[in-house]
């Protein structure tokens, strides 16, 4: 009876181990695909996300911006900042989220501008 119990435990551990290994491989593949999609700017963008505490996607959602354009970011920022002002019954917490989102998007716009300058300086072969 102990022999059967040991076999059941060993089989269970093997099944769980294979499932864990498969999940880990899938996670690595997904992570690699995401890094490839971000391209070279991924490192700078990730650093900006760490500094601001917001990812690029979160910042875009907060300011309701689908594509990064300085005019749209500024327009939505001003509107949301005014709407969430405490003097008009708004929320200081939401207003601070709006400010952080604008800071994050401004940083991303700076990164993109720097990349554009670097591309323009490289010699064409």
**Closest CA relative to residue 74, chosen from 101, 46, 45:** 101
Read off φ and ψ for residue 68, nearest 5 degrees: -80, 105
**What tokens were used for 42?**
């991924």
pLDDT digits (tens, 9 = 90+) for 6-32: 999 999 999 999 999 999 999 988 887
Tell me the pTM.
Answer: 0.58
**What tokens were used for 59?**
């910042």
CA 48 – CA 111 distance, rounded (Å): 9
Considering the domain 1-124 in this protein, what is its CATH number?
1.10.287.110
Biggest CA pair distance of the chain: 75
How far is C-alpha 71 from the chain's CA centre? 22
CA 79 – CA 97 distance, rounded (Å): 13
CB atoms within 10 A of CB 79: 13
pLDDT digits (tens, 9 = 90+) for 103-119: 989 988 988 888 888 77
Q: How far apart are the first and last CA of the chain?
A: 74
Q: What is the pLDDT of residue 52?
A: 63
- 3-class state of residue 86 by DSSP: helix
Q: Give the start-to-end residue ranges of the domains of the chain.
A: 1-124
Percent of the chain with pLDDT over 90: 47
Q: What is the pLDDT of residue 125?
A: 45
């Amino acid at each position: 009876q102990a022999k059967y119990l040991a076999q059941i435990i060993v089989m269970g551990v093997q099944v769980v181990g294979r499932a864990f290994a498969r999940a880990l491989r899938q996670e690595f593949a997904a992570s690699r695909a995401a890094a490839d999609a971000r391209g070279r700017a991924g490192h700078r963008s990730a650093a900006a996300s760490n500094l601001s505490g917001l990812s690029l996607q979160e910042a875009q959602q907060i300011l309701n911006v689908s594509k990064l354009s300085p005019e749209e970011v500024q327009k939505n920022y001003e509107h949301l900042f005014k709407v969430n002002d405490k003097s008009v019954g708004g929320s200081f917490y939401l207003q601070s989220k709006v400010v952080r989102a604008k800071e994050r998007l401004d940083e991303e716009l700076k990164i993109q501008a720097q990349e554009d300058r670097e591309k323009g300086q490289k010699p064409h072969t």
